[in-house]
Amino acid sequence: MTIQLSYEVVKNDFFKAGEASSNIKKVLRQLGIPSDLIRRVAVATYEAEMNIVIHSDGGEIILLVTPEKVQITALDKGPGIADIEMAMKEGYSTAPQEVREMGFGAGMGLPNMKRCADEFEIKSSLGNSTEVTIIIRI
């Protein structure tokens, strides 16, 4: 059995931010995925979703569930990450001040995604889209 779902994420839409991760959590519960894995998926997905809302021109979150794994792919429409190594450092953020004043943009998104993942990959370059793949084995 394989399930694939996709969720649109809109730039600066803080009202709907978190909907994809919340819906994915419900789907995984219905599939009987263990709660500790669901928590890891939910945290990683929420961080990916917020990064798309805050830093990109919009994008999508894709859920793929197989008997072996839960895979989250976050794809955005740019503008890319200039320095991935720096972006992976806890506390480093390029979020605008108004986003930080809302309580977001603390520079923990990518590190938290990696911490929750069994496998983590990020592809990006300045001026291009970013693709983050998070795999959590079942």
The domain in which residue 92 lies consists of 3-137
Higher pLDDT, 1 or 67: 67
Kindly state the tokens that stand for 35: 């709660």
Kindly report the CATH number assigned to the domain that includes residue 28: 3.30.565.10
| 124 and 130 Cβ atoms separated by less than 8 Å | yes
pLDDT, tens only, 75-132: 999 999 999 999 999 999 989 899 999 889 898 999 999 999 999 999 999 999 999 9
pLDDT of residue 1: 84
Cis upstream peptide for 111 (omega within 30°): no
pTM summary value? 0.94
Averaged pLDDT of the chain: 96
Number of domains in the chain: 1
